[in-house]
A and B are shown apart, each in its own frame.
Chain A
Amino acid sequence: MKKNIFDIPIEVIKKGTKKYPQELLDLTDPPLELRVRGAFDASIFSNALAVVGSRKMTRYGKDLVETFVTALSSRNLVVISGFMYGVDTTAHRAAIEAGGVTIAVLAHGLNYIYPSENKDLYQLILDSGGCLISEYPDSFKPQLWTYPKRNRIVAALAKKGTLIIEAAEQSGSLITASYADALNRPLFAVPGSVFSKTSEGTNRLIKDAIAQMVLSIEDIVPSFNSGSDIAPTLFEDINKDEKALLAALSYEEMNIDEISMKVSKTVTEIGSHLTMLSLRGMVEETNGVYRIRTVKKK
Chain B
Amino acid sequence: MLTTILSAAHSGLETIAIEVEVNVFTKGFPGITIIGLPNKAIEEAKERVKTAITNSGFEFPQSKIIINLAPADIPKEGSCYDLPIAVGILHAMGVVQLPKEKSFFYGELSLDGSLRHTKGVLLLALSAKQHSVKELYVPLPSSQEGAVVSNVSVFPVASLHELVLHLNGSKKIAKALIKPGNTESERLVAEFDFNEIIGQNHAKRALTIAAAGGHNLFMQGPPGSGKTMLARAVAGILPPLSPEESLEVTKIYSVTGNIPPGGSLIWARPFRISHHTTSRIGLIGGGSKPHPGEISLAHCGVLFLDEFPEFARSTLESLRQPMEDGEVTVTRAAGTLKFPADFMLIAAANPCPCGYLGDPKRECTCSPRMIMKYQSKLSGPLMDRIDLHVSVPVVEADKLIEHKDVETVSSAKIRERIIKAREVQYKRLSKSGIYMNGSMKNKHISDFVQLTTKASQLLKQAVNAYNLSTRTYFRLIKVSQTIADLEAADAVTETHVAEALQYRVRVE
Closest B residue by C-beta to A272: B498
A260 within 8 A of B: yes
With the chains together, A101 CA to B462 CA distance in Å?
Answer: 32
Whether the pair A85, B403 counts as a contact (CB closer than 8 A) is no
With the chains together, A288 CA to B351 CA distance in Å?
Answer: 12
Partner pick for B498 among A255, A265, A276, CB 8 A cutoff: A276
A286 within 8 A of B: yes
Digitize B492-508: 1 where CB-to-A-CB distance is under 8 Å, 0 elsewhere. Answer: 00111011011000101
With the chains together, A261 CA to B358 CA distance in Å?
Answer: 21
A257 within 8 A of B: yes
With the chains together, A246 CA to B56 CA distance in Å?
Answer: 82
B391 within 8 A of A: yes
- Residues in chain B near residue A265, CB distance under 8 A: 406
Whether the pair B205, A268 counts as a contact (CB closer than 8 A) is yes
The dominant DSSP class at the A interface is helix
Whether the pair A59, B499 counts as a contact (CB closer than 8 A) is no
Digitize A189-217: 1 where CB-to-B-CB distance is under 8 Å, 0 elsewhere. Answer: 00000000100000000000000000000
- How many residues on the B side are at the interface (Cβ–Cβ under 8 A)? 39
With the chains together, A266 CA to B502 CA distance in Å?
Answer: 14
Say whether, besides A267-B202, A276-B498, A288-B202, A255 and B407 are in contact (CB < 8 Å): no
Partner pick for A275 among B199, B220, B358, B498, CB 8 A cutoff: B498
Interface residues on A, range: 20 to 34
Whether the pair B200, A288 counts as a contact (CB closer than 8 A) is no
- Residues in chain A near residue B372, CB distance under 8 A: 117
Say whether, besides A257-B202, A262-B403, A279-B465, A288 and B499 are in contact (CB < 8 Å): no
Whether the pair A287, B351 counts as a contact (CB closer than 8 A) is yes
With the chains together, A264 CA to B358 CA distance in Å?
Answer: 25
Interface positions of A from 14 to 39, Cβ below 8 Å from B:
none
Closest B residue by C-beta to A273: B498
Closest A residue by C-beta to B222: A287
- Residues in chain A near residue B393, CB distance under 8 A: 255, 257, 288-289
4 smallest CB-CB distances across A and B, nearest first, come from A288-B391, A272-B498, A261-B403, A275-B498
Q: List 27 A-B contacts (CB under 8 A).
A: A56-B367, A59-B358, A115-B369, A255-B391, A257-B199, A257-B202, A257-B393, A258-B399, A260-B201, A260-B202, A266-B407, A267-B406, A268-B499, A271-B202, A272-B496, A272-B498, A275-B462, A275-B498, A279-B458, A279-B461, A286-B506, A287-B351, A287-B506, A288-B391, A288-B392, A289-B391, A289-B393
| Interface, chain B (partner A; CB < 8 A) | 199-202, 205, 220-221, 351, 358, 363-364, 367-369, 372, 390-393, 395, 399, 403-407, 458, 461-462, 465, 494-496, 498-499, 501-502, 506, 508
| Interface, chain A (partner B; CB < 8 A) | 55-56, 59, 85-86, 115, 117, 197, 255-258, 260-262, 264-268, 271-276, 279, 286-289
